[in-house]
Structure 1
């Protein structure tokens, strides 16, 4: 488990750097792949090690029974990607030809496994190894390791860079609704982290709280359960609507003592047998002590706090949602990958990994003053967007991107890595990203327009795909697609969007009404 004590002959002690990656889910795998691409790794100057607490790679996509508290993953049986895989995939590695456009979770796990094998990542991953703590070395200098990383094996290793890639789908978030604690204690309510399939008898009337992707999926699942006659789906944007045995309702205001549930619009439902809370997850970094990440909502900005706060919704302040602006932590020695929500995460984390390593290779590349100004600028823009000075409201929105914002963000990271300096990392990360291609990113790269087009059409494409599956035609639509390159997937998605517009009346009414609830 210990890292080598001798440095490679090709590198001086000052040049040799060790890199810790916490987690081997999508973010950790992307970080490891990008490191192995770098000239520093190939010259023997960088040694990465990824630590994964579970017995295999994949993170949230790796199944586990709902026995732990909380479960190791919230992955439920019916989970299907809510993004078309051409825009979901890592830019450096497309899904195989003929893959269903919206792949089920097992195919995504196969894809991640293939990614790890293709780029020879597994030798650098330590499975069944939990990172227990990460603390700054008091004796750290520019030429010696910065971080002490203690492991579940009992070992403590030293690292120059820590990439935090532990995901954010483990710790359930429970809403603060009057009466809910009583329902939880009586096992009349449960978080969706424990949900796997609708075969468990939860009674005749099931309430699903939450209108994100999991709430949508679970509500639709429960409509197929033979023991459930009525499904109530609660979401903030719902109008009070009944469609068959589905009832759409607004926010829950109160859980009563005898199965009644009151809603903010003044209506009440009686005889609710069970409530499933699809209410999201909290950011959690149990390996970072409070003097590195302070729990709580940060104070209003400006000025920026000197400490890093975890509100459970976001980390603040982070430069570019990556680097801590902390008074006693060199920003370039730690980075948090994969915190953004409402994005296509795989392409984002590959871009983030390149940016993190670019700053790590030369700390002068990260201008903390300029980054602080950008953070304040976003803070003020979010204050206007949410219409409130409440720091909690801003914290909730901090890592949440508007539909096209993620693409501007990726382009900005590409620009950052491509800034003109001799010997920069991007010299070997040369740009091969062109319209219809997915072979890499680098110098001068830009997110292709088709990705934006497909992302904006993702809900229409998914409804159309579900209909094709119902008609038994989905497999034919994708047979052989991708064998000639990514442009075939781009053409297929455009054809499917046109088909959806021509066959809109065939979209199932119930699915359409449930889809209206999605955030």
Structure 2
């Protein structure tokens, strides 16, 4: 059975490894010249030398917002060291070590861009691939597709009234690399996710002034910032030289940095693949990963606010258990019913909008892992992983200036200890 893996970032690497373990013939395509996906830093923004969108959203000085003790693949821990929160360079070295330990590079075609994936009448898949170095095209048939293209490469920018009249610079965090371009500028930063917080902490040292627009309510999160930082609620609309906020206040800016997240995009999937993206909700998927209409195509890595490598790994094993024929999927009607139950939880119980359908988080992601384990009869994620996630999220919300000082240590499969460095 031939399997195509698209992308060799964190999800793609474990998809390759487990495809091999399941005895499948696997080929992976990577448009860059190395593994690591968004963890590969580049100064480039916009288009690369082949005219493709630059994939990486990595910026200088990035450190993880989760401890290494819960970020590793099962049975492949990060190297021992004092710190729990690692630099991007250390994370990339980990992925390189993982790939080399299992000889995964032998299955990867680098500088190959997947142009199109479409289903054939015999339930196989036609994949058209561009060899970027030679600028040639090849058509290959596969029995299954594992989509691992990541979701931090297509920016989402809110469609504020007045966006088209603002005369200053407008930049998304996807193109943020360092604080140098913001020296002496008046900067509006929109968003309170990891990139928004990190950019704020960098830019406040060089900008004339910074306004941080967010809807984080906890006061403990926003103390001890520099005197040149002003905090505002959400933006209502933009003008030619500033913004009006929902509290009615107004300020002027020379630069707007949108740290407003990303859109799920799969430009290589043909319209007859049986999936659609509607307001960032990808459907119909069984358990956020298997295409209900065509179950030999799966997407690894959609859910967010999760334990990343642990989830990628169990998703890959879950999907391959059914793709390989080791177990049979539920009937289509049962999978659709399960999807409707998930929507009931996300939209009714949790009150989420459609664009947050794939958001899990504390209290939900651990249930999700357990369901994958039970349905496919595969090894579960150890309970200590989710417990550390809850603790690390609590630390971040209480003090985003200092949460990376915490050091975690796993005691056993169910327990851990953590201490704060001074």
- The TM-score, its normalising length taken from structure 2, stands at 0.89
Equivalent in the alignment of 2:95: 112
2: CA distance between counterparts of 1:202 and 1:352? 43
* 1:354 is aligned to 2:317: yes
Equivalent in the alignment of 1:313: 280
Contact 2:383–2:414 under 8 Å retained in 1: no
1:337 to 1:467, Cα distance in 2 relative to 1, 3 A: closer
* 1:372 is aligned to 2:336: yes
Contact 2:114–2:128 under 8 Å retained in 1: yes
1: CA distance between counterparts of 2:14 and 2:196? 28
Contact 2:307–2:386 under 8 Å retained in 1: no
Residues matched between the structures, number:
406
Offset, 1:383? 2.6
1:110 to 1:464, Cα distance in 2 relative to 1, 3 A: farther
1: CA distance between counterparts of 2:337 and 2:344? 11
* 1:410 is aligned to 2:366: no
Offset, 1:310? 0.7
Which of 483, 487, 499 lines up with 2:411 in the alignment? 487
Equivalent in the alignment of 1:20: 4
2: CA distance between counterparts of 1:187 and 1:205? 10
Contact 2:384–2:413 under 8 Å retained in 1: no
Instruction: Summarize the alignment of residues 211-222 of structure 1 with structure 2, pairs less than 5 Å apart.
Output: 211-222=192-203
Offset, 1:37? 2.2
1: CA distance between counterparts of 2:403 and 2:414? 18
Instruction: Summarize the alignment of residues 116-195 of structure 1 with structure 2, pairs less than 5 Å apart.
Output: 116-138=99-121, 140=122, 146-153=124-131, 154-183=137-166, 186=167, 188-195=169-176
Which of 327, 345, 354 lines up with 1:395 in the alignment? 354
1:187 to 1:355, Cα distance in 2 relative to 1, 3 A: same
Contact 1:379–1:394 under 8 Å retained in 2: no
Offset, 1:193? 1.1
1:118 to 1:373, Cα distance in 2 relative to 1, 3 A: same
| Matched residue SS, 2:81 | coil
Contact 1:86–1:489 under 8 Å retained in 2: no
1:490 to 1:222, Cα distance in 2 relative to 1, 3 A: farther
Equivalent in the alignment of 1:287: 268
Equivalent in the alignment of 2:208: 229
2: CA distance between counterparts of 1:465 and 1:118? 35
2: CA distance between counterparts of 1:265 and 1:166? 39
Q: Can you list the C-alpha shifts for 1:316-336, whole angstroms capped at 9, x where unaligned?
A: 11010011122xx3x1x1101
Contact 1:358–1:417 under 8 Å retained in 2: yes
Over aligned residue pairs, what C-alpha RMSD do you find?
2.7
Offset, 1:404? 2.6
1:178 to 1:167, Cα distance in 2 relative to 1, 3 A: same
1:467 to 1:284, Cα distance in 2 relative to 1, 3 A: closer
| Matched residue SS, 1:180 | coil
Unpaired runs of 5+ in structure 2? 48-52, 132-136
* 1:452 is aligned to 2:386: yes
Equivalent in the alignment of 1:61: 39
2: CA distance between counterparts of 1:172 and 1:342? 18
1:260 to 1:67, Cα distance in 2 relative to 1, 3 A: closer
2: CA distance between counterparts of 1:93 and 1:461? 25
- The TM-score, its normalising length taken from structure 1, stands at 0.73
Which of 40, 43, 66 lines up with 1:83 in the alignment? 66
Equivalent in the alignment of 1:268: 250
Instruction: Summarize the alignment of residues 86-105 of structure 1 with structure 2, pairs less than 5 Å apart.
Output: 86-98=69-81, 100-105=83-88
Contact 1:189–1:274 under 8 Å retained in 2: yes
Contact 2:182–2:203 under 8 Å retained in 1: no
Equivalent in the alignment of 1:322: 289
Q: Can you list the C-alpha shifts for 1:265-320, whole angstroms capped at 9, x where unaligned?
A: 111113x121100111111111112232xxxxxxxxxxxxxx52212512111010
Q: Which has the larger radius of gyration?
A: 1
